[in-house]
Chains A and B, each alone.
Chain A
Amino acid sequence: MIGISNIIFLIVAAIGIGLFVWQIRKIRKNVLMGRDLVLEDNPSERINKTLLVAFGQQKMFKRMLPAILHLFVYVGFLVINIEVLEILIDGIFGTHRVLGFMGPVYDGLMAVNEILAALVIIACVMFLWRRNVTRVPRLATGVEMRAWPRMDANVILITEIVLMFALFAFNIADLKLAELNGQELAGAFPVSQLFVNAFGSDAGTLATIASVGWWIHIIGILAFMNYLPSSKHFHIIMAFPNVYYSKLVPKGKFTTNPAITHEIKAMLDPSYQPPAPEVDAEGNPVMQRFGAKDVEDLTWKQLMDAYTCTECGRCTSVCPANITGKLLSPRKIVMDTRDRMEEKGEHPAIFRPNHYKEMGVERVETTEEKTLLRGYITPEELWACTTCNACVESCPVNIDQLSTIMDLRRYLVLEESAAPASLNAMFTNIENNGAPWAFPASDRFNWADELYLPSKN
């Protein structure tokens, strides 16, 4: 029976989904600002990784408590989506619990749903506790964790709790209504059963509660979906492609710039023929920057990383530079990349970037330059990195913070010759002596003088 409420539902759903598609297109456009990169090799290894790290949450289990709580929310999200599907169908066609025909399967589904929903509430409350009361350091500290990121996390957690309560309200009222009508409601509701008398037994009130619960749930989901692109919570979508496209070679292997290779080969051997330079649409050679100064100098994968970050701070909490009080925070590098991308390109509906200057953050001495380098990330941060890969190892969604740090460093050195003086001295030593220290190359073999081996006879 299709009535006015179904038409309203359709309109609301269409607006919600349309808005979401529009936001996703913006993000796609931002990511495509980045340099080209082909990552199509080894699909089977990539799928494997995605199954393990993204679906299987492999890297989360380095820390047990958050891993388990997160698992509740994650599995809850997946399973409860089935109920959302039902809600959508009911909403469009005016049916009621349309999947009820599945009998015992439906019973099981609803039961699992309810238990998960309860666990989600518990997990979210504990997450709120960890963020706001015990203030787990990696979640509560760091210049990058100011107003928006902190509010964002709380908004998400509270929304999830409200959504789960709405689900329960709907189930409880529905259950009681069925009982009053002497009907058997399809499904099993182990949690709602306990509260079946919570709302009294006035049929009118119950019907209202059921429908308010239902509407809150569905509008909540649509709103949530449109909030995602502005939030760290976007990782629930991005984690999967991001892990799929993650680095497959050893972590110690840094990228090689082929343009430089051609230049050097031509220097060493005048007969060397470098390939013709790339040309743009008008046939002019493309001048590529060495290294990265701004977001368009990074690859689309590095930009995708920025949209995947969950702001969990696992990277920062294992970073040796950060642990010992240096300015560097790998999470900040990733979050800054996102902020700059959205400043330069388009931004989703409600996202609010960090502006260190406006926030008056001491020590992060950004400039007015409208670039990622210096406008957001300072050379001091970049030079503090030991390239130890601890951040890369720790990231649950396979973000490569180090590659961005390295590309920014390369820009400083190759385009601006702005390395610290002692590093410039090291470069000169390598050039002149073939060693980072000022020792003559002719002394290189001195260690072998007067070396003996004891021989027993």
Chain B
Amino acid sequence: MEVNKKLIKVPTMAEMAANGQEPEVLFWVGCAGSFDDRYKRVTRAFVQILEHVGIKYAVLGTEESCTGEPAKRAGNEFLFQMQALTNIEVLNAYNIKKIVTACPHCFNTIKNEYPDLGGNYEVIHHSTFLQQLINEGKVHVQGGEAFKGQRITYHDSCYLGRANDIYEAPRDVLAALDADLVEMKRVRANGLCCGAGGAQMFKEPEPGRKDINVERTEEALATLGKGKGVIATACPFCMVMMSDGVKNKEQEENVKVFDIAELIAQAEGLTK
């Protein structure tokens, strides 16, 4: 069996609208997903999954702009609303109804904060979306063998978990992998922040004993124990923070940080 490669041409809303078409779902990529080198890989993995299952999707491409989330959490309500109102205008002009995003911060903002400003959409986080694909049998995770016996621990994102009560979807997705799922000491509603939320991502931490991501990574490493393991995340900020933490502890050889979309894409044989 020979494996060929098919070039993916990611459809934009502008093209779709020009052809008089509407996508089933708009993939909101987010700033991290567009610009952060590490998280771009997650964006690509997620698009591979979308292509693989044959869903009619589109992205805004260069018409997308920051949701304004970091500005809002930093206290700049003015800049936030500026961004939000502009984005809502674009989304409404395209008559968008359903949005999926891999970023819990974009997810939370568009889902909970845009409605007050006139933006009403059905917003889904990619963990829920993937869970649905698995439940519907559209993703089979045939290559699940790849993770057999590997220890994976899931780090809850605050903006998915406490902020929006999504605890099970990412865990269900991981459960499909047939790996050895282990839970950290502080999980779900009691999960510990990675340290990046509330615009901390964009500044130095305040003086203290330790950085938050180091504390959280220590917890993850203690849970994974010796040998190889994976820290699974479902948020670009958590991804950066946990990766930095692993580097700080010089464990890059043993412990990898992956987004759940990457794990699914790998298991499904979509990435090399």
Contacts and interface: CB of A to CB of B under 8 A. Distances in A.
A448 B47 contact: yes
Interface stretch (A93-101, A129-137, A340-348, A449-457): A449-457
Nearest to B44: A451
A381 to B, nearest CB: 8
Given A318-B190, A320-B193, A422 B204 contact: yes
Interface in A384-440: 384-390, 392-393, 406, 409-414, 419-420, 422-423, 425-427, 430-431, 434-437, 439
A48 interface: no
A456 B207 CA distance: 54
| Chain B, interface residues (CB within 8 Å), range | 35 or more
A315 interface: no
A156 B216 CA distance: 38
A252 interface: yes
B73 A451 contact: no
Interface stretch (A105-113, A202-210, A233-241, A260-268): A260-268
A324 interface: yes
A169 interface: no
B212 A422 contact: no
B80 to A, nearest CB: 9
Contact of A388 (B158, B204, B214, B270): B158
B149 interface: no
A446 B65 CA distance: 14
B165 interface: yes
Contacts of B93: none
B215 A443 contact: no
B66 to A, nearest CB: 5
Nearest to B158: A388
A260 B164 contact: no
A324 B36 CA distance: 27
A454 B211 CA distance: 41
B195 A447 contact: no
Contact of B6 (A383, A446, A455): A455
Interface in B1-28: 1-8, 10, 12
B189 interface: yes
Contacts of B270: 453-454
A452 B8 contact: yes
B39 to A, nearest CB: 9
Given A453-B5, A453-B8, A426 B62 contact: no
A332 to B, nearest CB: 14
Contacts of A413: 74-76
B62 A445 contact: yes
B66 A445 contact: no
Interface stretch (B109-117, B170-178, B254-262): B109-117
Given A383-B206, A431-B82, 20 more contacts: A250-B165, A254-B72, A257-B77, A290-B78, A323-B212, A324-B214, A326-B206, A387-B198, A388-B193, A389-B163, A392-B162, A410-B77, A423-B203, A426-B203, A445-B34, A448-B8, A451-B44, A451-B48, A452-B7, A453-B48
14 contacts: A250-B112, A260-B78, A261-B85, A261-B116, A324-B210, A324-B212, A393-B189, A412-B75, A436-B202, A448-B8, A453-B6, A454-B270, A455-B3, A455-B6
